[in-house]
Structure 1
Amino acid sequence: MRTDISTSDISLDDDKALHHWNGVIHGVLSHGQATGDHLAALTTQAPDFAMGHAMKGLACLMLGRRELFDAAQAASDAATRALSLGGATARERLWCQALQDWLAGAPSQSIARMEEAMRLNPADTISMKLSHGIRFMLGDNHGMLRSVDRVIGAHDHSHPLYGYALGCRAFALEEVGRYDEAEQTGRRGLDFARDDAWGLHAVAHVYDMTHMTEQGIALIDGFPDAWSHCNNFRFHVWWHKALLHLDQGDIATVLDLYDTKIRDEKTDDYRDFSNASSLLVRLELEGVDVGDRWVELATLAAKRSDDGCLTFADMHYMLALMGDTDSGAAGRLTARMAQSAQIDDDIGRVMQSPGLALSHGLECFGEADYATAFAQLHAAQPHFQAMGGSHAQRDVFERLTIEAGLRAGRIDDTERLILARTALRGGHEDSFAAARMGQIAQMRRAQAVSTAAE
């Protein structure tokens, strides 16, 4: 039996089909623009290759769009028909089961299928990447590291995908706060895979979390091979660059990156949307007038607020709606989330917590009811991790919680949140934390003067 570039047995016996499957693997690992073309060619060249249909279905679900569930189900049906013809490997059958699990509301079980595939062959990099990606969406940062560490020993210099495996490990290390190891691992990975956008972005995360802004900007500028070939993931890399410039107080560059890179293509992909909405909130919290940039985001958010696929996505839609006190769109999103929270599956449970409290808190923040906003956001904050995404992505909600606390006069509680946020960053105080700690000091001095005058 033949093998693919993940060094795993594959039922494909056609050279062209195998070429395209390898192109899919490389594309998924490198976030390459050509991935979709390879997948379309694969399913045309080998319509009875069940794993190709499973990949298509899983990719649809990862996009977090309600209208793509039908496409994912159709892909699952095609995979089932292909399996009935016989000849599929155990790994291929596991991938088809993973798709069925997610369609049934259990992406956590999809992870288990990928882990089983990795037990069949620890050098199966693409199954590791899928486990890694789904865990990321479910907020399982420690599971990401355990998963990669179980198989990293099967990847060495001779493995064609070694650099990408290191990139995944670097990101997992960063998300559990092992910043020095993450930086070293990510940079080593780039030595073997210069087009690894995920590995590059893992190191950018390190520099964001540790307030090493110059190093982060230089990294992104110095490795264009890692993002120039990318699909929309390149917008996310530029978002990271904007965060680094924001930490430096370089607002002009941040706005330029927003207009010419991050939001140059006004897609409604939730990942692109989250880049944009979270960046505008960060700017406004620093007192920046962002002009009419919210208009197109609010229009898109109102259209997408019924998705209910991912709490992470919904809450970024809410960022664009929370200041709109006239249309009622924010209230409708919270009400829809309450309905989704009644469903007892992986997604519904996150909608329940932290989703409901977070949604209500953001809505109240937009209405300038800061006391209620803080109460709700503070209750949700210990559970933010469950939303998925990264520390850097979820930090917009940390900032809003802190800001609500300051505006509500909850000085002690807010200070504890700031100190915990800085501790998560290895003790590195960024400009946001420094400014808010300065504000707290001023508030305490004012209180002391007021008390002395009584």
Structure 2
Amino acid sequence: MEEDRYGLPLSTASTDAAAAYREGMDLLLAFWPGATDAFERAIMLDPDFALAHAARARIHAIYQQREPALQTIGRARKLVATGGTERERGHVAALSLAIEGRGAEALTSTLAHLASWPRDAMVMALPLGAFGLLAFSGRADHDAARRDLCDRFAADYGEDWWFMSNHGWALTEAGEVAKGRAITERSFALRRHNAYAVHALLHAMFEDGAVDEADALVEGWIGDYDRTGMLHGHICWHQALGALDRGDVAKALAVYTDVLVPTMDSAPPLNTLSDCASLLWRLTAEQQTVPPDAWTDLSDYANHRFTASSLAFVEMHLVMIAAATHDQAALKGRLAAVERRLAEGELPAGRIVPHMLRALRAFADGNWRGCARELAPVIRDLARIGGSHAQREVIEDTYILALIRSGALPQARDLLDARLHRRPSARDARWRALTDS
């Protein structure tokens, strides 16, 4: 019987279809271009190959192609019901729940499935990463939960390049930066064409304050990574963060105009939304001039792709856009919807969300005291919105600048001292100097 790259049986009689599926697995797990073609080739070679359909549905979902994703995963469910193994049925069930947006059920299904088949990497991937089921669960401890999950199954994977890139990043996000970076570097050495490992290394360097090292990593590696790669723009976004730390606004703007904008139609929409909105917000917050019409162009992009949202992480970036463009109708509508979902118990991240959204609106209006007042009671709960530490830090930055501009210098000083104790940052040092004035 044919097997996947982790030795698990595949219900296909086609050797070529199985080979195409294994190739697609490698490419998808590495976030490398070509996975879509590989899975479609597997389906062409064996139209009844359920897991190939499931993998193709997963890519549809990453690119927020909801109807094709639902149709394709539906096809996988029908096929696996009559011709699949127990493992394959559980595999498809977990992916189905995730694709349908039933996050809590998907996480429960995933963890139960992994207890029996820990090396089912396509399912293991679901709870991991900054946009995974754990990150978007609303849990304040999701970073630790990801680390614990990887610790639990590390022996099952051994020196596997994909698993180590996830394990390393999970450790980094949970505060074990040196250990996480070392594991990620081993992963990268095993497979350099692994955008996921590069991304995880950039997060470790971010936590270390190694801005120049991160910039050199990207410059020396990005040439082999096509712009259609899922993480191409986001990896360059990390360069922009480093540029802002150094005070190089021109380079940060160049990343926006030369990389992020041209790849809007090829990058996963959630990456585009969060990368573009947060970078523009950081620039605007530091009172830098952004490209003409940048905010309105981004608003048009978001309005076409995020007509409905249930994630606090998405709401955060949509409200950045609405606040920056002073779209009062959008702000009112988003806040009302969030308050309603909170009252109905449908907002996993809880009360932090309306506080955060009102704070962003106040900041955009120059109401520094109002912004600080909204964020003060929830600033330690930022993890609940999901994403990575580097992505969530934009809210902490907003809070610090609001404190400085409202004259609450001791509070801003304490926050900056804590950040500088954790990692060196030229930008934080510049802000810290402002609190002594």
User: TM-score with structure 2 length normalisation?
Assistant: 0.89
Structure 2 residue 404 is matched with structure 1 residue 432: no
| Residue identity opposite 1:333 in structure 2 | R
Structure 1 residue aligned with 2:222: 224
Q: Which of 401, 406, 409 is 2:407 aligned to?
A: 409
2:139 paired with 1:142:
no
Which residue number in structure 1 is paired with residue 92 of structure 2? 96
Shift of 1:6: 2.1
1:53 is aligned to 53
Q: In the superposition, relative to structure 1, how do residues 415 and 303 fare at CA in structure 2: closer, same or farther (>3 Å)? A: farther
Aligned partner of 1:75 in structure 2 is: 72
In structure 2, do the counterparts of structure 1 residues 261 and 18 end up closer, same or farther at CA, with 3 Å as the change threshold?
same
Given candidates 159, 171, 174, the residue that maps to 1:173 is 171
* 1:362 alignment counterpart: 360
Alpha-carbon distance in structure 2 between the residues aligned to 1:262 and 1:50: 35
Structure 1: distance between partners of 2:224 and 2:170: 19
Instruction: State the Cα deviation string for residues 363-387 of structure 1 (Å, max 9, x = none).
Output: 1212222222212222332222111
User: d(CA) in 2 for partners of 1:380 and 1:312?
Assistant: 15
Q: Deviations over 1:123-154 (max 9, x none)?
A: 33333223314224446211211122222222
| TM-fit CA distance, 1:312 | 0.9
Cα RMSD for the two superposed structures: 2.5
SS at match of 1:341: helix
**1:72-107 C-alpha deviation (Å, 9 max, x unpaired):** 432343233213323x12221112221343366542
CA contact (8 A) 1:51 1:93 kept: no
- Give the Cα–Cα distance (whole angstroms) in 1 for the partners of residues 224 and 107 of structure 2: 27
Structure 1's 118 and 69: CA in aligned 2 closer, same or farther, altered over 3 A?
same
Partner of 1:450: none
Looking at structure 2, the residues matched to 279 and 60 of structure 1 have their Cα atoms a distance apart, in angstroms, of 26
Q: Which residue of 1 aligns with 2:310?
A: 309
Contact 2:404 2:412 in 1 (8 A): yes
Query: How far apart are residue 419 of structure 1 and its match?
Result: 3.6
Give distance in 2, aligned partners of 1:369 and 1:301.
Answer: 25
Would the aligned equivalents of 1:21 and 1:38 in 2 still touch at CA under 8 Å? yes
Q: 1:105 to 1:304 in 2, by over 3 A?
A: closer
Alpha carbons 1:7, 1:124 under 8 Å: kept: no
**Unaligned stretches of 5+ in structure 2?**
none
The more displaced of 119-128 and 208-217 is: 119-128
Change (3 A) 1:302 1:404: farther
Q: Distance in 2 between matches of 1:309 and 1:37?
A: 31
Distance 1:34 1:421 in 2: 40
Name the residue aligned to 2:277.
277
Amino acid across the alignment from 1:212: A
| Equivalent AA in structure 2 for residue 154 of structure 1 | D
Of residues 109, 121, 130 in structure 1, which corresponds to 2:126? Answer: 130
Q: Is the 8 A contact 1:95 1:113 kept in 2?
A: no
- SS in structure 2 of the partner of residue 309 of structure 1: coil
Counterpart in the other structure of 1:236: 234
Deviation of 1:231 (Å): 1.7
Measured after TM superposition, the shift of residue 252 of structure 1 is 1.8
Q: How many residues align?
A: 428
Which residue of 1 is the match for residue 18 of structure 2? 18
- Alignment match, 1:9: 9
Aligned residue runs from structure 1 range 331-346, under 5 A = 331-345=332-346
